[in-house]
Structures are given as structure tokens and as C-alpha cells.
Chains A and B, each alone.
Chain A
Amino acid sequence: MRDFFVLRVIAKLLIPFMLLFALYVQFHGDFGPGGGFQAGVMCAAAVIFYALIFGLPAARALVPDAVVESMLAVGVLIYAGVGVAGLLLGGNFLDYFVLAADPVAGQHRGIFLVEVGVLVTVSAVMLKIFYMFAGRSRNTPD
């Protein structure tokens, strides 16, 4: 779809706002609706949109497979790492109260980090599944 001028211009205009909205949903999730999962899906959707308009190779150059695959694991590790950090600081697994001097601030920090982990994993998985499906051509012999 690279030849459609209107689509290209609209995509270029929209994608920054999609990513910005994803970040808003991520970091405003404490106060309004949203959170890591939704923001992750939106991030992935922005890149998928880019791939639909500018072609899969362009998207793969923008967000390489190696990055996506490492993000896949890093997200879960961030989440579990927050839990282990709670253990090391003398609390239970996934105990956020000990993450900061003030228990409420600790909760805030824990929730924030955990949501970042969810965002990273979800966006990577969505993107990876899309890459896998879109990367196969109809003529690939099974």
C-alpha cells in the first residue's frame, strides 16, 4: 500500500499520536482506565499499522526481530524481578510495601514497574505473532 499517498500521509500523522496515547494509557492507568495490557496492545497496533502501510520489511527494520524477541522475555523478567526485589528487601513475593521507605510510595513504584513489564511483554508478543503470520507467503510449501 506504499503507493497510496493519502494513506501514507495519514499514517505518518496518526502513528505518533497512537504511540503517545499508548504512553498516556500506560502512565495514566493509575488514575483513569488503562494499564500495561491495553498500552502494550496499542504500541503493537501502531507498529502493525506502520507495517500495513509501509510494508513488512520497513517495520522489521524499524523494530527488528531480535528486539521483539528479547522484549518478550524481558517483560516477564521485569515483573518477576519486582517480586524478587520484594523478597530481597524483606517482604513477601510481589510485596510492594517494602520497595520504598513509605509503603504507599512503594505500592506506587511496584505497580508502575509491574505495568511496564506487562507492556513490554504484551506489545512484543502481539508484534511477534503479527510478524510470524505476515512473514509467511501463500506459496511457502508446508
Chain B
Amino acid sequence: MALLVLAMVVQRNLFAVVVLGGIYSFLMATVLVVLDAVDVAMTEAAVGAGISTVLFLGALHLTRGEEAQPLRRTWSALLMAVGVSGALVYGTLGLPAFSDPAAPIHAHVVPRYINEGPKETGVPNVVTAVLASYRGFDTLGETTVVFTAGIGVIALLRRRRNEKKDR
């Protein structure tokens, strides 16, 4: 996957970058399956590899296929990226070990979800129970975000058409 990312950075042909991005998403989906997060893997495969690839290709059709050469090298941006990623990596050092049952996040509400969830909601899939029932309000917000994104795209792309009609 690191190789893929390097190839995407070096590659100047945007079509190749989009295809590499799709491959990256599929690899990411397999990683998520290995981590037992099947719901997320499904979303990653469908959205990341499927629909966003199609949308990128659609956008690519409207522009040129080659990435433009930057006017000047921006070393400050590189420094910024390295600094932020260094801080993030440093932050992960403080996290509890992977799948540590004593981690704080597993001690708070998780036992209740796992033990009581199937009884209270009658839904064996804990992910669905948490998403739709316990955290229903969050999911409502999430749906509204998706809705707002759609409205935003409509507003942005449709205005152009009306302007053309006015002329």
C-alpha cells in the first residue's frame, strides 16, 4: 500500500492516479476485513473504490488528464506535512495496545452494548444496533450531512446552468 501511495504521488497522469486510488481502496477494504470490520470494509469497497472512482473519472473528463507542474517548490508544505504526520505518529504511541480488552474505550459502554444489545433491540448485529438505535441521533446527523452534501452539489452545479440560460 505504501508503494501504491508513492506511485500515486510520483505519477503525473491523473487517469493512472484515479485507477491507483481505486486499487488502494480495495486493498484498504481487505485490511478492514482482516480487522473484522466488515461493515466498514463494505462501505470502503463500494464508496472508495466504486463510486468515487467513477466521480473522479467524471471530473477528469471535464479537465485535462495531466497534472500541471507546480510554479514553485513549496518546501514549507512538505515541512508542514512531515511535522503533522510526526505529531500523529507520536500520538499513536500513547494509545493502548491493539485489541487490548482493558483499554478505556472497552470499559465504558461497550460491555453494555455487547451484553444487553441483542436482548434490548433484538438485533444480533451489534454494529447495526449501535448505529441505528443507541446512536440513532448521531446517525440522523450523519444522514443530514449526506443530504446537505447532495444539496450543496446541486446548488453549485446547477447555478451555472441557470446563468447560461439568462445570457
Interface set of A (CB-CB < 8 Å, partner B): 25, 29-38, 41-42, 44-45, 48, 52, 69, 72-73, 75-76, 79-80, 83, 93-94, 96, 103-105, 107-108, 110-111, 114-115, 117-118, 121-122, 124-126, 128-130, 132-134, 136, 138, 140-142
Contact = CB atoms under 8 A, between A and B. Distances in A.
**Nearest 7 pairs of A and B residues by beta carbon:** A125-B150, A33-B38, A133-B58, A104-B122, A107-B121, A111-B132, A41-B46
Interface in B91-118: none
Contact of A126 (B39, B51, B127, B160): B51
Contacts of B119: 104
A45 B154 contact: no
For chain A, what secondary structure do more than half of its interface residues adopt (helix, strand, loop), or is it mixed? Answer: helix
Given A45-B46, A79-B140, A124 B133 contact: no
B47 interface: yes
Interface residues of B, number: 45
A45 B46 CA distance: 8
Contacts of B164: 140-141
B128 interface: yes
A41 B153 contact: no
Contacts of A48: 51, 54
Contacts of A45: 46, 50-51
A73 B147 contact: yes
A82 to B, nearest CB: 8
A111 B129 contact: yes
Given A79-B140, A115-B132, A107 B120 contact: yes
A125 B129 contact: no
B7 interface: no
B51 A30 contact: no
A35 B58 contact: no
A65 to B, nearest CB: 10
Contacts of B146: 121-122, 125
B37 to A, nearest CB: 9
